[in-house]
Chains A and B, each alone.
Chain A
């Protein structure tokens, strides 16, 4: 469903992504790991269409379409969901109003009627249970005053509401306590359909105990420097990134 070819991108003239190629097929879960500042969030931002990041080379094809030409809201409606590493607060805007607007925009795009108020609230209730989010959170303003963990759970709740075809979860596990981690991971697994895919960005292999990836990539200095099965995550957990960095630097020298 997603084919990334030799993607290069910069922020304010500084090269961040330096040639990334990656293919995600329907039904697959890809994990992306890598040291701080290696460009993981930047890759997610490019896929979601953030203007701040300028693509300088390469292509991204999503279900046969040129993804880079689509405005971000259209990408969302085409089924791309980004779980933010740092979810944004929108004071005064209730979660209900926010999600209703979002869900109905998605429905309009599909040619469906907007949901009635009661159907919408029913949907909210079901999804809240699914991801075990505290009912009260949904009555508050978008992320305003939410704790770090609550914000992350709220991302999964929104994902449940929008039922994406491709979910990109940027460190959704960071800042979660052990129970919350299980809830979030369960949520992701429950929401996973046979033909939907996910890119899971994480620093910790423990998430991957719950969400089992088909492939693990290591991103380092704007490049994917290693791709392997889920056992790679374990190896990284044990040995850190130094050995990979060394491998890469050696290659660069040669």
Chain B
């Protein structure tokens, strides 16, 4: 802990977006634009079966009838969907993905990001699926996990090796018609992670996916599908970064989770896409659909997210609580600085009896940024005894930023108890002075105070992520008060 504390302080004083470099990697790209041929090309490159191509085309045709949603509290510049490259893959020499076959530059890139692709370097035992641009370049610990019957691999591999599972589950939680970005993703998704934990198995290590955008002018569209069979448990983490560029890049992902009877899934995200520069130029548009289905009785899905990056964030990790006694949780810290915009929150849909949900949202806004919490708690007629507790706090670090809360509550069952609390606060000059008086600089004081404010959520993260997330909070707010 000691060293880490020091490292945090050092990192804070050196500041800036640390992951903004670009790697020179030979990349295979298709040309810009989006039509049925683009989709056939992507599908063809991946040697996909006919049914998957059909799924994509259906999604694409549906997407063409849709308009970008405008209800979010966001100013989104026009996106020219014909000006995006929908497939960019680092060239890999061999099909066999043993480490020796990985481009050394690719390996260096992930080393630099702190994600070593060699298994022996992973002392803490975290299995990683590393995705760059449109493809998964390496999944570690596949064999080790397979020993306990766990499937952890890239989505593309899963399509080839476990087509039945994919066909059974893909699109069951987020249908291709769900929303504009989900339809787009369903049409053009290129890779992502797949995970299946069999009945009665507690996954012995943390699973994770690291998303890296590297190429210019590309969009990243990945899908993650996580299935926890009866009595299974898994903790899953996701991280992401991108180079600094003046133009915006689109990231539109789908995550689907299914939890069967008595299964539990913890899904943690540290989202650190390039946020754009101080004047709001560049940065990632992060338009993501994440949803979990508590299908079984007593199942539990827990979302924890630390959102510090992206120029614009539009995401609502949600839980459909179908199984009786199932539980959904959403713990979120969303930081916006400079000209960043975030509209994020969750949906908790109570269907089963005695279903429970907890929402803890901590928004932190600085600079000229705009930060909105948007959440829906819906209790259906069938959900007798349902309970929800929501706590939405906003912390303002400047007087030019905005913080908004949009809670929607729809209750159709008299026995349900739904509680909502909201607060807005500022970092007090007196708090900073108190720290100063004890020898702590203003920058560090803000770091302490913000981390204290976010403590409840940070505590939900797996150890491997917690320290990283703490540092990130401090760096993201660098120079935001003064």
Contacts and interface: CB of A to CB of B under 8 A. Distances in A.
Which interface class (under 10, 10 to 19, 20 to 34, 35 or more) fits B? 20 to 34
B433 A50 contact: yes
B452 A158 contact: no
Given A72-B433, A87-B434, A117-B1, A92 B454 contact: yes
Interface string A20-62: 0000000000000000000000000000111110000000000
Nearest to A103: B439
A83 B109 CA distance: 50
B430 interface: yes
B5 to A, nearest CB: 7
A71 interface: yes
Nearest to B438: A102
Contacts of A81: 437
B452 A91 contact: yes
Interface in B400-453: 428-431, 433-442, 444, 448-449, 451-453
A123 interface: no
B428 A102 contact: no
B78 interface: no
Contacts of B5: 100-101, 104, 114
A88 B440 contact: no
Interface in A192-209: none
B439 A109 contact: yes
A141 interface: yes
A103 B442 CA distance: 16
A49 B442 CA distance: 13
Given A52-B429, A90-B448, A117-B2, A71 B436 contact: yes
The residue among B6, B430, B451 with the most chain A CB atoms within 10 A of its own CB is B430
A115 B2 CA distance: 8
B353 to A, nearest CB: 35
B455 interface: yes
The residue among A71, A77, A91 with the most chain B CB atoms within 10 A of its own CB is A91
Interface string B94-137: 00000000000000000000000000000000000000000000
A58 to B, nearest CB: 21
Given A73-B441, A76-B438, A90 B1 contact: no
Given A50-B433, A84-B434, A102 B451 contact: no
A162 B449 CA distance: 20
B437 A93 contact: no
Contact of B436 (A49, A93, A106, A115): A49
Given A50-B433, A90-B434, A106 B439 contact: yes
A97 B447 CA distance: 12
The residue among A91, A92, A114 with the most chain B CB atoms within 10 A of its own CB is A92
Given A72-B433, A88-B428, A91-B452, A114 B438 contact: no
Contacts of B434: 84, 87-88, 90
B451 A101 contact: no
A101 B452 contact: no
Contacts of B451: 92-93
Contacts of B449: 90, 93
Contacts of A101: 5, 440, 444, 448
B456 interface: yes
Contacts of A158: 438
Nearest to A88: B434
Nearest to A98: B448
Contacts of A12: none
Contact of B437 (A76, A106, A115): A76
Contacts of B439: 73, 76-77, 102, 105-106, 109, 162
Contacts of B444: 101, 105
Given A52-B429, A72-B433, A72-B437, A97 B6 contact: no
Contacts of A160: none
Contacts of B433: 48, 50-51, 72, 88
Nearest to A83: B437
A101 B444 CA distance: 9
A98 B438 contact: yes
A71 B435 CA distance: 12
A98 B438 CA distance: 9
Nearest to B8: A101
A84 B430 CA distance: 11
Contact of A97 (B430, B442, B448, B456): B448
B34 to A, nearest CB: 46
Given A92-B454, A114-B2, A162 B448 contact: no
A163 to B, nearest CB: 12
The residue among B435, B439, B456 with the most chain A CB atoms within 10 A of its own CB is B439
A226 B6 CA distance: 49
The residue among B1, B438, B449, B456 with the most chain A CB atoms within 10 A of its own CB is B438
B430 A88 contact: yes
A93 B448 contact: yes
A76 B448 contact: no
B470 to A, nearest CB: 10
A88 B431 contact: yes
A102 B430 CA distance: 17
Interface in B307-336: none
B397 to A, nearest CB: 15
A100 B3 CA distance: 12
A7 interface: no
Nearest to A92: B452
A82 interface: yes
B471 to A, nearest CB: 14
B437 A114 contact: no
A141 B428 CA distance: 16
Interface in B140-179: none
Nearest to B430: A88
Contacts of B430: 88
Contacts of B2: 114-117
A73 B445 CA distance: 10
Contacts of A97: 448
Given A101-B5, A117-B1, A162-B438, 10 more contacts: A52-B429, A73-B440, A90-B431, A90-B449, A91-B453, A92-B451, A92-B455, A101-B448, A114-B2, A117-B2
Interface of A: 48-52, 71-73, 75-77, 81-82, 84, 87-93, 97-102, 104-106, 109, 114-117, 141, 158, 162
Interface of B: 1-2, 5-6, 428-431, 433-442, 444, 448-449, 451-456
21 contacts: A48-B437, A49-B436, A73-B435, A73-B440, A75-B437, A77-B439, A84-B437, A87-B434, A88-B428, A88-B430, A88-B434, A90-B452, A92-B452, A93-B451, A93-B452, A99-B438, A100-B5, A104-B5, A105-B444, A117-B2, A141-B452
